[in-house]
């Protein structure tokens, strides 16, 4: 069943069309104010698409209108796809998540941990101690590896990441892992949640275990079978006219940094390099909501999906200050009522979060402005696509608030 054939009137799935129009008006106001160039919204419930609209411009400067088939850089919404790939290999017995990742990627064995507290010297000379234990695959899936991103802060290890740049798109995945093996960890593995390049490492793990480049594994095992025809690491020439672009910032006269999606990159980044459409990503979400199956084909078992969407952070795992400052409302912790599973943020309680939702919903977002969540209790999938990095938090909040207020049955 394709997306268009599964359309339904909002009222037939317990949504109020008038209330959904509040979301439309909020997006239109943001476009008129110049905050964002355009967006695509998709809301599905009970297996039916109740709201799917395009707003504004795919490319404001070119005067090109947004379409529901526009192609977006989905950045960290790549992470659930890579995590799915890992768990498919787990189900085949090729990976065990409790094992050290050095079993497959020896460059990441015998790492050291930076002692950053009180140190104010050159980042390259930060003192280190041996890691208390090795990084496991589970650590990578749940972001407790001790790895980080350079943009997460200004501590010595963050600055080292900026200097060494393991995420350089000119690196292959193998070269990225080799660089990471030369850097100290920020935390002892398993001790602290900090958002990181961990899922990029998982992309390399998939390559090594499967013997295939990541794009080939995705195409043969995930995006191809799911019918996600516009999802990949490059946009083919015939589809260049559907690429959504960020608008020029009047303060700088430039677009915010975006990677080239018209040419295949050297590094097939499992943490954030895919492009996709709202309809494509819906198919992935439908499979997750259906317990690992879509249209008669099974990708994961129901129990594996339950495992992935359960909280994997125990009370002894801290959440870093950098994560709270940079990840904000998506950060796990007792103060947000959220945890983290094997590739997703997961909501643990109805309250605590500044955003509405249900216990058991799972979610993530991308730095370029995209986000999604799946609410099994409400049989709901919501996807928001735009290319506007700066106001992404505001519109992510609006999307949550204005979708939930439209549920009336």
* pLDDT tens track for 310-335: 999 999 999 999 999 999 999 999 99
Confidence of residue 108 (pLDDT cuts 50, 70, 90): very high
Number of domains observed in the structure of the chain: 2
Structure tokens at 301: 């078992």
Last residue of a domain, one of 210, 241, 257: 210
As a dihedral over the C-alpha atoms of residue 139, residue 141, residue 147, residue 153, rounded to 10 degrees, the angle is -120
Residue-number span of the structural domain to which 170 is assigned: 83-210
Q: What is the mean pLDDT of the chain?
A: 96
Tell me the pLDDT tens digit for each residue of 247-266: 999 888 999 989 999 999 99
Does some domain include residue 272?
A: yes
Sequence-distant (≥ 6) Cβ neighbours of residue 300 within 8 angstroms: 84, 87, 88, 91, 292, 308
User: Shortest CA distance to 170 belongs to which of 257, 266, 259, 271?
Assistant: 266
Is residue 55's pLDDT more than 90?
yes
- What value does the mean pLDDT take over residues 81-96? 98
Task: Let me know: does 150 contact 195? Beta carbons within 8 Å.
Answer: no
Last residue of a domain, one of 152, 180, 210: 210
One domain, residues 165 and 266? no
One domain, residues 46 and 32? yes
Does some domain include residue 217?
A: no
Is residue 1's pLDDT more than 50?
no
CATH number of the domain that residue 206 is part of: 3.40.710.10
Residue 250's pLDDT is: 84
Burial class from Cβ neighbours inside 10 Å (0-12, 13-18, 19+) for residue 91 reads middle
Confidence of residue 4 (pLDDT cuts 50, 70, 90): very low
């Amino acid at each position: 069943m394709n997306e268009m054939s599964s359309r339904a009137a909002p009222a037939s799935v317990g949504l109020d069309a008038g209330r959904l129009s509040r979301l439309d008006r909020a997006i239109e106001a943001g476009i008129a104010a110049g905050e964002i160039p355009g967006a695509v919204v998709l809301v599905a419930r009970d297996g039916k698409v109740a709201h799917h609209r395009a707003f504004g411009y795919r490319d404001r400067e070119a005067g090109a209108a947004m379409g529901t088939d526009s192609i977006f850089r989905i950045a960290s919404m790549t992470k659930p796809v890579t995590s799915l790939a890992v768990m498919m290999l787990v189900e085949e017995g090729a990976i065990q998540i409790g094992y050290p990742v050095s079993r497959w990627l020896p460059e990441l064995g015998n790492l050291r941990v930076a002692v950053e507290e009180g140190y104010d010297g050159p980042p390259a000379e930060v003192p280190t101690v041996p890691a208390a234990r090795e990084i496991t695959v589970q650590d990578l899936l749940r972001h407790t590896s001790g790895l980080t991103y350079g943009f997460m802060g200004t501590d010595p290890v963050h600055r080292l990441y900026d200097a060494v740049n393991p995420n350089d798109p000119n690196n292959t995945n193998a070269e990225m892992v080799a660089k990471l093996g030369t850097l100290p960890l920020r935390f002892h593995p398993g001790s602290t949640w900090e958002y990181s390049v961990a899922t990029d490492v998982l992309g390399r793990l998939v390559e090594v275990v499967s013997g295939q480049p990541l794009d080939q594994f995705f195409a043969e095992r995930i995006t191809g079978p799911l019918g996600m025809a516009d999802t990949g690491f490059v946009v083919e020439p015939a589809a260049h006219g559907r690429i959504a672009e960020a608008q020029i910032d009047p303060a700088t006269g430039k677009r915010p940094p975006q990677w080239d999606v018209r040419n295949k990159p050297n590094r097939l980044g499992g943490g954030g390099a895919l492009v996709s459409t709202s309809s494509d990503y819906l198919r992935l979400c439908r499979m997750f909501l259906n317990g690992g199956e879509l249209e008669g084909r099974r990708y994961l078992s129901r129990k594996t999906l339950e495992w992935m969407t359960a909280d994997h952070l125990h009370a002894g795992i801290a959440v870093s200050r950098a994560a709270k400052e940079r990840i904000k409302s998506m950060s796990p912790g007792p103060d947000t009522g959220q945890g983290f599973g094997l590739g997703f943020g997961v909501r643990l309680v109805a309250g605590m979060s500044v955003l509405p939702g249900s216990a058991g919903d799972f979610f993530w977002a991308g730095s370029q402005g995209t986000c999604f969540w799946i609410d099994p209790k409400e049989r709901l999938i919501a996807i928001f696509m735009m290319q506007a990095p700066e106001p992404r938090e505001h519109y992510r909040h609006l999307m949550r608030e204005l979708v939930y207020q439209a549920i009336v049955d």
